[in-house]
Structure 1
């Protein structure tokens, strides 16, 4: 939990700079909707509104800060060109808006950046350099190239103009949900929550601001404990957009000043948030984009029944990862089940099994017939079958039917 002092200034990020940023960028960014979610409110047990920043042109809020920074560059800086380091969303924002304004852009991205983000960044016009195992290594390379080639470095979160651009979301929220009582925001390096919290606490100090980090990369949590930015060990997370080993020096100060609470979300909780948004809200969110919703769905915050806005801050998810999340989600909900079933290796055995599955109205998705592996006896065979089901009740009926017919079987979890 961070201690906040609502009117304490922090460096050059102020309400005035955020209001100036809004005037500067408002013609070029989408005024994203903020609508009530009945389904998520019911699961979370409180009134939840979703601010859909995943609907921005580049698929995330990041273009707000990138554009504000680009529009404040001098003519000399524009001529030199810009460079950034990013796991994807900041990269796309810089690439898109720099190209629109005739500015040469180079982006250094970690080697493991999802292909969808790499291709999109190139498609918006920037030169992409893949370097390093994580954001921090990409950042070091971008700084080296900036110094070597005289490029202007656009930091993804620890820059006053970038933070002010992200803070424009708060001004929109005050118009869209003036009676809101809390805002839940994903945290990576801290630029988004810093700008939002600065604006909200300056205008409405009664609104609670809560940050959510991936449990595997809690760099801001570590920074708050040390009262300064610290570098934590690298780890993998499906929330790659907030996978930052070291928060910003400026953002730590802002979070300490303005943010009320900081929580973490586990991988399975974030995956559940992605699937819930997709299925219930028809909204595509990446891991980082679903972190705030995940925290509410799994009751990670101290909120009870406040009117709460959750930031869905990005939607640039790799389709192969999305497919895996959907499959695992269906399995957890009892709508997909995998069984290994022993059969005698004689004509008609498979037909009898499929007839039993038909009686229980189970749809076969995948079936593998093996006589050699799985430790089966000679004269036996093993069927590895994946079934679609309506839920856990139907699965239990199928398992009961198999037992009644004498089939040896195992449910693969």
Structure 2
């Protein structure tokens, strides 16, 4: 909108939450828009923008519920059908719902048998809750890596179209860790840099939430790349940790000359990369000639991490791997607990 209004000589004011990504802010400014930061979330920014429009007698455009915006998003669906006429499903990220609604209307009209799925995160799920209750409800938005989806109240036009028009097959919620892993996957394997709000579609597939789509032709919407470099770095590290490639542990070693060096040599021989190492002497249980090392290393994945665990445990009797305590099924020799799911996806053929 910032770009097109500038091209048409129309003044444009964009109101964003105070925590909006810097890249999104600077891009709007570079395209010629005046930007204002207000509120902790999009709901507060929207309320301020509507008041400003009324006060200044400006035309207010809702970024996720205006009919023209929804129509514009529908052109994505038209292009999808033109380029992938034999597709089976489309997976779409959902905030206020305009992209999903526009695409769903277009795709279902042109190819009615196509399945349409919407994705939200565990911390921003206003559309899921609205469709579940049959009415628009406000939810509390937590800090989320998919900040572009952080809408606490589903749009009016989007909600009623998705609820009553028969254009939506299913809404799905994905966990934040999978979003981080999806961002990392897209950077490493596809060479795409996308924001968390866009990565939720790939995250849902990676999390195994659509076993019914295996072997099908699926289009995932990657709706934006407005992610700050600092957030991208955090997302990559979170993704590495979720995949067992970034491991933290505590180990008590000798505090005599050569004790720490021996530990570092052992790690080097294991083939891991030492990322951080902090000695703790004051709160160590045992003799005064010991030091507790808080260590973060980079491995090649869970199998490599298992090797590291075995080597460290053989070498030092006092060591603790919190990630392995949280994921006992990944420890060598550990057994899974009984599955409580009534119809486990992993058991379906």
TM-score w.r.t. length of structure 1: 0.73
For the pair 1:276 / 2:151, whether they are aligned, the reply is no
Residue in 1 that maps onto 2:304 = 394
**Aligned counterparts of 2:205 and 2:178: Cα–Cα separation in 1:** 10
Residue in 2 that maps onto 1:172 = 79
Residue in 1 that maps onto 2:92 = 185
| Contact in 2 for aligned 1:343/1:407 (Cα 8 Å) | no
Cα-Cα RMSD = 1.9
For the pair 1:231 / 2:138, whether they are aligned, the reply is yes
Residue in 2 that maps onto 1:310 = 220
Quick one: structure 1 residues 158 and 357, their matched pair in 2 at CA, closer, same or farther if it must change by over 3 Å?
A: closer
| Contact in 2 for aligned 1:131/1:138 (Cα 8 Å) | yes
Residue in 1 that maps onto 2:11 = 104
Specify the SS of the correspondent of 1:263.
Answer: strand
| Contact in 2 for aligned 1:214/1:243 (Cα 8 Å) | no
Of 106-115 and 382-391, the range deviating more from structure 2: 382-391
For the pair 1:288 / 2:201, whether they are aligned, the reply is no
Give the deviation of 1:316 after TM superposition.
1.0
Residue in 1 that maps onto 2:206 = 297
Residues 317-353 of structure 1, C-alpha deviations (whole Å, 9 max, x = no match) = 1222221221122223232222222122211212222
**Aligned counterparts of 1:294 and 1:354: Cα–Cα separation in 2:** 36
Quick one: structure 1 residues 223 and 404, their matched pair in 2 at CA, closer, same or farther if it must change by over 3 Å?
A: closer
Residue in 2 that maps onto 1:254 = 161
Give the deviation of 1:175 after TM superposition.
1.2
**Aligned counterparts of 1:221 and 1:394: Cα–Cα separation in 2:** 39
Give the deviation of 1:223 after TM superposition.
2.1
Structure 2: which 5+ residue stretches go unaligned? 324-349
| Contact in 2 for aligned 1:227/1:252 (Cα 8 Å) | no
Quick one: structure 1 residues 348 and 222, their matched pair in 2 at CA, closer, same or farther if it must change by over 3 Å?
A: closer
Once the two structures are superposed, the pairs formed by residues 317-332 of structure 1 within 5 Å of their partners are: 317-332=227-242
TM-score w.r.t. length of structure 2: 0.86
Number of residues of Structure 1 aligned to a counterpart in Structure 2: 320
Residues 49-83 of structure 1, C-alpha deviations (whole Å, 9 max, x = no match) = xxxxxxxxxxxxxxxxxxxxxxxxxxxxxxxxxxx
Give the deviation of 1:374 after TM superposition.
5.4
| Contact in 2 for aligned 1:190/1:248 (Cα 8 Å) | yes
Of 166-175 and 354-363, the range deviating more from structure 2: 354-363
Residue in 2 that maps onto 1:265 = 174
Give the deviation of 1:115 after TM superposition.
2.1
**Aligned counterparts of 1:262 and 1:175: Cα–Cα separation in 2:** 25
Give the deviation of 1:155 after TM superposition.
1.0
Quick one: structure 1 residues 246 and 179, their matched pair in 2 at CA, closer, same or farther if it must change by over 3 Å?
A: same
Residues 247-284 of structure 1, C-alpha deviations (whole Å, 9 max, x = no match) = 11111122121112111111112222212222221111
**Aligned counterparts of 2:14 and 2:253: Cα–Cα separation in 1:** 56
Give the deviation of 1:360 after TM superposition.
2.0
| Contact in 2 for aligned 1:343/1:383 (Cα 8 Å) | yes
Give the deviation of 1:213 after TM superposition.
1.5
The structure, 1 or 2, with the larger RCO (C-alpha pairs under 8 Å, 6+ apart) is 1
Residues 168-194 of structure 1, C-alpha deviations (whole Å, 9 max, x = no match) = 011111111011111111111111111
